[in-house]
Amino acid sequence: MASAVTQAKSRAILVVDDEPDLVKLLSFNLGQEGYLVRTALTGREALESALALLPDLIILDVMLPELDGLEVCRRLRSSAQTAAVPILMLSARREELDKVLGLELGADDYMVKPFSVRELVARVRALLRRQERVPVAESRAGGDQPEQVLSSFSGEIVLYPERYQVLVRSAPCTLTHKEFALLHLLMANKGRVLTRELLLEKVWGYETEVDTRTVDVHVRFLRQKIERDPAKPEYIETVRGVGYRFAGPF
């Protein structure tokens, strides 16, 4: 426990919700884990705090005064300063449309109220752990090894893992952390069918069963960015009842 708390101490989390009691509950439990917690009660306050603090993660409620959470999420993803910050959305509504909209706007995860605080903390850890796994150029052993560039379809899709860059038909393509991680994993396993459960474990860091619809929504959003016709995908194939496969030619 002590090592986990020490590891969390430098990580800042912004909690955004208009329910003061819930904000206090989350602040206390996240604080016990060693996180530095800041709070906001409205959508506008959330945007101001996010830009001022530049947190490592944002917990964002959908139903907020002034600006709702979906609009806040959209604006955060549109800003270069906060585009890559993991967002865990909360909602009291169970409608599938809300979840899909939140994920399509760039949220990394979604929980429906009421929820287990223990599960929320576990998801926070998983999101931050996944963020730490993103490779950077400085981490290469020796500093002079060539970057392992992934290229498919005669160079139509090119992924530079250490530069965190993707080119689609020679044009730069902006992806969220989860979209980049999904594409990286799929391209690194060309021709192999990856189950939804495996994608959840490797990309989201979840080792327990959660809603695999999260994977489907992120794949759909990724297809909208890289496929010529998302309704007839060439690159990312769906294997019904199993998962997804990055197709050939390789």
Compute CA distances 123 → 106, 228, 243, whole Å: 16, 34, 22
30-34, 145-149, 164-168, 235-239: range with lowest mean pLDDT? 145-149
Compute CA distances 201 → 30, 149, 197, 239, whole Å: 23, 23, 6, 18
Supply the pLDDT for residue 143: 47
> What's the chain's average pLDDT?
84
The domains found in the chain, sorted by start residue, are 8-132 (3.40.50.2300), 147-246 (1.10.10.10)
Threshold 0.75, pTM exceeds: no
Bridge partners (DSSP) listed for residue 165: 160
The runs of H, that is alpha helices, within the chain are: 2-8, 20-32, 43-53, 69-78, 96-104, 117-132, 177-188, 196-199, 213-226
- Per DSSP, the three-state class of 91 is strand
N-terminal to C-terminal alpha carbon distance within the chain: 45
With bands split at pLDDT 50, 70 and 90, how would you rate the model's confidence at 214? confident
Tokens at 195, concatenated = 């189950």
Supply the pLDDT for residue 104: 73
- Per DSSP, the three-state class of 223 is helix
Compute CA distances 142 → 58, 99, 137, 146, whole Å: 35, 44, 11, 10
Supply the pLDDT for residue 242: 92
If one compares 54 and 4, the residue with the highest pLDDT of the two is 54
Residue 122 burial by CB count (10 A; 0-12/13-18/19+): exposed, middle or buried?
A: middle
Supply the pLDDT for residue 215: 86
